[in-house]
Amino acid sequence: MHSVSIYTTTTCHFCKLAKEFFSQNGVKYKEINVEDNEKAQEEMIEKSGQMGVPVIDIDGKIIAGFDRGAIKKALGL
């Protein structure tokens, strides 16, 4: 079982695609909306060096953006 977190906002198109991808592949994930959560924003930026979403954390591997290939590789799909 993988530990998966995704930093999102409510209007992010690529966040929605990433969440759909996880659902389609039976991957459980924790969604962290950074819109109004300064602590989560800081955590996301510290992990990724990015201010844009999605930022995906799979077992400590950070993927900035919806990179299907990198996500599949990190999940072993």
Domain residue ranges in the chain: 4-75
Helices and strands, counts by H and E, the chain: 3, 4
Question: How far is the C-alpha of 75 from the C-alpha of 21, rounded, in Å?
Answer: 12
Question: How far is the C-alpha of 50 from the C-alpha of 71, rounded, in Å?
Answer: 17
Question: How far is the C-alpha of 23 from the C-alpha of 14, rounded, in Å?
Answer: 14
CATH, domain 4-75, list 3.40.30.10, 3.40.50.1220, 2.60.40.10, 3.40.190.10: 3.40.30.10
Contacts of 70 (CB under 8 A, 6+ apart): 63
> How does pLDDT run along the chain (77 residues), one tens digit per residue?
899 999 999 999 999 999 999 999 999 999 999 999 999 999 999 999 989 999 999 999 999 999 999 999 999 98
